Each structure stands twice: as structure tokens, then as C-alpha cells.
Structure 1
């Protein structure tokens, strides 16, 4: 049975996590929006890490999974604080982050906030700045007015129940954008992107690749893969890229 533990953060949130001891650097999985540490990619990568004798960490942001708070009360900055609390209080030594979708944005924020700790990065359908470039830009005038008036807006999702997008999420997202200023990534970095992803486009993946600075950065496009990126072949691809980054650290 999975040994779930809890971290009480300085701002009063209770963060659920599962930690696996092993050889460093610690592989830290960062989940997507409304996903959690029980997702297919997180659990599969943990199983691989255990088989390889590697240190591994997965956790739930506040408002997600088994952590405290409500999803609609949270925002990008809160989940960034949760990530920093996990890295600063639960992980010793260097970190290799693996970020999926919104977790890709979180991994880039981590790289900016803790450049001395992060030594490698793998992202899967990374979605930096999606609150602004995806949601806000995609809203029509009526939706923007409803968001301003009601403080939230419900939009359909292909992967879950309707998403409730709050005014807080949009406004806080603007304080954490990473594609508007230089973003050095002085570490081995591997971006993964499916060509059939309807949530994050290939063009967005190319925009991220072109924006970041570093001398060991690659983007791999997987033809036919969707946003979940979680069939057996995709899971093997994630493991392969983690191995590549580990070998180049």
C-alpha cells in the first residue's frame, strides 16, 4: 500500500506526498491542472524509478488530490509555493523535474526560483502561461464580462468535469508568466510533445523551445500522441528521456 505522508506548509496548507528513497538526483513529478499524484504518468515513472534504485517524489498541489484546500481557491502562485515547499523541506540535494502540462509551467517556475537545485528537466506537453495565452486570449467578450462579474467561468473539458476558471487564476497567472522575459535553462532539458494534442499545440511547444536559453535543449515530437501522453509507448518515451537527462547531468 502506498505510504502517503503530509507536509504542513508555512502558509497552513497540508500537502500530500509520496517519497521514494534512492540514488539522486531526486526525480520530482509535477502534475497538470486538476490532475494529481495518482495519475498514470506519475505512478508509472515512480515504478520505473524504484526499479532503477532512483530517488523519486510525487505530490498533490493544494486543491488537488489528497491535499487540503479547494481547487477554486487556488492559483498558479499557490501551486508554485507548494512546489517550493516540497523541494525546500522534503528533498535533499539536486532535483530533476518532470513536469506535465501545467506541471511543465511549474517546472519552469522552479528553474527560475531554484536554479541551484534543479539540474535537469523533462516536460510533457508543457503549458507555460496557459492562463493568459490559452484561457484569457480564447475567451470572447461575453465570457470575459461573466468572469469579471461572477468571479468565475465554467468551461468544458475533454478530460474531466467542466473546469471552473476563476478570476483569481487568470490574474495571478499574469504574475507568473515565463514566456515574456529571458528564461535560462543551464541544464540538460528535454521537451516532449504529441502532435495530436488538442490542449497544447505543436506551435506552442516550438514557441517554448525558441524562447528558452541553454546549450542542451531538445524538443521531441511524437506523432499521434495526445495530451494525456500516457499509452505504453509514451510512458517508455518519458522514461527514456529521464535516462538521457540523468546521463548528461
Structure 2
């Protein structure tokens, strides 16, 4: 049995892997999971001229402090639509533990409410960590992650 652990986009991937091989999964631990982020978080957050460039030219360049410049493509958004989870029921019977920072400015904690509404079939634990950011990388936050994985191991 495996315990997928994923952070941000890796959380989305962990959910998809669990759906693909449910018989192999003992439990899932997610850190600020960004399921459907392309559609629910990224696209609506783009400026209108950026969305128009993606639709018209197929890409746009984004520059962010700390991340530098990167390209967003129409193909990325189109392919991501094939993997959306929040438009229906998510049947996962394995227990899921979500660690979510309340101060996360990339994936707002309310994004996990929609995940909770869509999940059916197993236990869900959602820890909202006061002051926690998107990385949840302080020593205390990392300890919580280790404890969550250890608890899944049984």
C-alpha cells in the first residue's frame, strides 16, 4: 500500500493517482492542494489582456517577483481540463488528511471546502493552520506533515 503525499499541484496529482489506482492507496496526505488550479485559481486571476493573449496567440509571458518570468500556454489550460476534479463527485475511499495554511495567498483555504464537498466514500481531515503560508515549511509545520504521514501508516 502507498500513501501519496502532494503539495500544491502535487496534491492534484496525488488525488488523480489515487483515483487511478485506488486499490493501492492506504491514505493520502495533501499540503495546500491545488486541484483544478488552472481553471479555478489561475485563469480567473489573470488580467484580461493575458487571457486574450493566450486565446489569440496561444501563450503569454508572466513575470512575478521571486519566480521570474514564465510562459502560460493555451495548450496547458486545455489539457488541464481533461483532469478536472471539482466538477463532480470524487469517489476516494482512502482517508485523506489535508494540511492547509490559512495565510496561503496561492491556494486560499476556502478552495478546500469545495474539495470536501466533492469527496465521498472516505474520511477527510482538514487542518487549517493559522498563519501557515503556501509552503508550510516552518519546523512546526513540517513536523505536522511528518505526523500526518506517520498516522496514515498506522
TM-score by length of 2: 0.93
- Answer yes or no: is 1:99 the counterpart of 2:6: yes
* Structure 2 counterpart of 1:64: none
* Structure 2 counterpart of 1:236: 143
Q: Secondary structure at the match of 2:76?
A: helix
* Structure 2 counterpart of 1:206: 113
Distance in 1, Cα, partners of 2:65 & 2:32? 15
Contact 2:12 2:35 in 1 (8 A): yes
Number of equivalenced pairs: 154
Contact 2:61 2:71 in 1 (8 A): yes
TM-score by length of 1: 0.59
Q: Which has the larger radius of gyration?
A: 1
1:232 Cα deviation after fit: 0.6
Higher RCO (CA-CA < 8 Å; seq separation 6+): 2
Contact 2:101 2:109 in 1 (8 A): yes
For structure 2, list consecutive stretches of 5 or more residues without a partner in the other structure.
none
1:157-196 maps to which residues of 2 (within 5 A)? Answer: 157=64, 159-196=66-103
| 1:128 corresponds to which of 5, 22, 35 | 35
Check 1:117–1:225 CA distance in 2 against 1; reply closer, same or farther (3 A cut).
Answer: same
- Answer yes or no: is 1:150 the counterpart of 2:54: no
* Structure 2 counterpart of 1:112: 19
1:185-235 deviation per Cα after TM superposition (whole angstroms, max 9, x unaligned): 211210010011000001102221222113321100110010011111111
Distance in 2, Cα, partners of 1:226 & 1:163? 22
For structure 1, list consecutive stretches of 5 or more residues without a partner in the other structure.
1-93
Q: Secondary structure at the match of 2:54?
A: helix
- Answer yes or no: is 1:219 the counterpart of 2:120: no
Distance in 1, Cα, partners of 2:20 & 2:122? 20
Distance in 2, Cα, partners of 1:113 & 1:189? 16
Q: Secondary structure at the match of 2:71?
A: strand
CA RMSD of aligned residues (A): 1.4
